[in-house]
A and B are shown apart, each in its own frame.
Chain A
Amino acid sequence: MCGLLPGVLQLRSSFKMAAALQFPANVSTLNTYNDLYPDWTQREVSTGTTIMAVEFEGGVVIGADSRTTTGAYIANRVTDKLTPIHERIFCCRSGSAADTQAIADAVTYQLGFHSIELDEAPLVQTAASLFREMCYRYREELMAGIIVAGWDPRRGGQVYTVPVGGMMTRQPVSVGGSGSSYIYGYVDSNYRAGMSKEECLKFTAEALALAMERDGSSGGVVRLAVISEQGVERQAILGNQLPKFSTV
């Protein structure tokens, strides 16, 4: 644990720099609180990603870009940020790559154990709660924004978001990562309840393409996955096949 701390602190300071670069000036003026008040606004930065998950009748569609950056260098341009936690439960990772990988590994273990004890498929809410437990307990050390999505027999397709800080809430559609700021308007205006699987796939791919266009820390290919009762179908949309929009 001691050996890990210096590395974690180093990552945190580099993310704080990225935070100053990405947020406009008037947001950072809210941050001169004393110790009595938590520093929410400065914590709300997830760097280097756009992730998204949408519920539809019968399952969920999840998507992410594929870029991992260390500063200005793209360490991995074909990252897979959609991590399986259980057979029909995935998580989308944003924030520190090391933190989210470690959390995902731990939760995978805990959920696997729990599912064997119960002798049935775990609930998506259980997985989300495990993420929330860990993200909240170690909130000072971690920088992780996670979207948990999957299908279970009891409640069907569900999306839970566990942003930096460790809250958990269920949402029909959720976006996260640094690129997500740019597509809030698009998602708010284009999401409708009751979309089909194909509509959700198109919606997710377009939203991610728009975010990747504007966010320097998101890019590469669009990875998509559909989770339903039948299982998991994965696909990747490569650079030249991405949806195009008429931009300036």
Chain B
Amino acid sequence: MSEELFPEPEWLSEEVKTGTTIIAVTFDGGVVLGSDSRVSAGESVVNRVMNKLSPLHDKIYCALSGSAADAQTIAEMVNYQLDVHSIEVEADPLVCSAATLVKNISYKYKEELSAHLIVAGWDKKKGGQVYATLSGLLTRQPFAIGGSGSFYINGFVDAEFRKNMTKRECQEFVVNALTLAMGRDGSSGGVAYVVTIDKDGAEEKCILGNELPKFFDE
């Protein structure tokens, strides 16, 4: 290892990662997705306002985490495949279909990719659903968290999640969880993006740093 007086900054050669907090929760009648907005390359923040909630279809979104390039590519590919599929069946696609497409890519290329997408949305058949597709598995859950910041809020979401919350309670739950994670994880931060999907469509919201809830800060 050569000794250098002024070593090259890490972030020039680091892969761009979305060290992240993402969360998706079902409520009675739809889902709420949330994410932070920080993209880091090593210790440098390369984008502080990135929206990690990517639309796959009108009422199906996915939340990106892990390598930014890998996650965006998967989302774009599935967006295209889902468009073709929905034209073929002449109906809105099921959330399960979107999640399966994501899972297929994640599993087939699991050695090359390092991205974790949470797929969530609303369809006529089963209402609001959340699917986790970590490393190529596919599982439906009442809620899912992901990204580096999610480690810190495991206890919080385990304790605070209740089935059949209202839309309002769900949104508050998501914003609280994101705020707590951003407070503890160095790779998560910026603003909070929240998307609410129900039978009427998807509503995107951005909550700025100073509007986030404040917790006891030891």
Contact = CB atoms under 8 A, between A and B. Distances in A.
Which of A32, A182, A190 has the most C-beta atoms of chain B within 10 angstroms of its own C-beta?
A182
Given A27-B148, A173-B218, A245-B158, A185 B153 contact: yes
A196 interface: no
Which residue, B40, B180, B181, has most C-beta atoms of chain A within 10 A? B180
Contact of B7 (A34, A186, A211): A34
Interface residues of B, number: 43
A29 B163 CA distance: 38
A41 to B, nearest CB: 9
A189 B40 contact: no
B87 interface: no
Which secondary structure dominates where chain A touches chain B? helix
A40 to B, nearest CB: 11
Contact of A24 (B3, B4, B148, B161): B148
Given A246-B162, A248-B141, A183 B148 contact: no
A173 B162 CA distance: 26
B155 A191 contact: no
A182 B155 contact: yes
B159 A30 contact: no
B218 A25 contact: no
Contacts of B142: 248
A54 to B, nearest CB: 11
Contacts of A184: 152-153, 155, 180, 184
A186 B217 CA distance: 12
Interface in A203-248: 206-207, 210-211, 213-214, 245-248
Nearest to B3: A34
A181 B151 contact: yes
A214 B176 CA distance: 20
Interface string A16-48: 000000001111011010100000000000000
A189 B156 contact: yes
Contacts of A206: 159
B177 to A, nearest CB: 7
A84 interface: no
Contact of A30 (B43, B152, B180): B43
A117 interface: no
B40 A185 contact: no
A211 B216 contact: no
Given A30-B10, A32-B10, A214-B158, A181 B152 contact: yes
Given A26-B19, A248-B143, A192 B216 contact: yes
Contact of A182 (B1, B4, B15, B151): B151
A189 B180 contact: yes
B212 to A, nearest CB: 13
7 contacts: A25-B114, A29-B42, A32-B10, A184-B184, A185-B155, A191-B218, A214-B154
Interface of B: 1, 3-4, 7, 10, 14-15, 17, 19, 40, 42-43, 66, 114, 141-143, 147-148, 151-163, 176-177, 180-181, 183-184, 187, 215-218
Interface of A: 24-27, 29-30, 32, 34, 171-174, 181-193, 206-207, 210-211, 213-214, 245-248
Closest 10 CB pairs of A and B: A185-B156, A185-B153, A183-B155, A186-B155, A185-B180, A210-B155, A182-B154, A26-B19, A184-B152, A186-B156
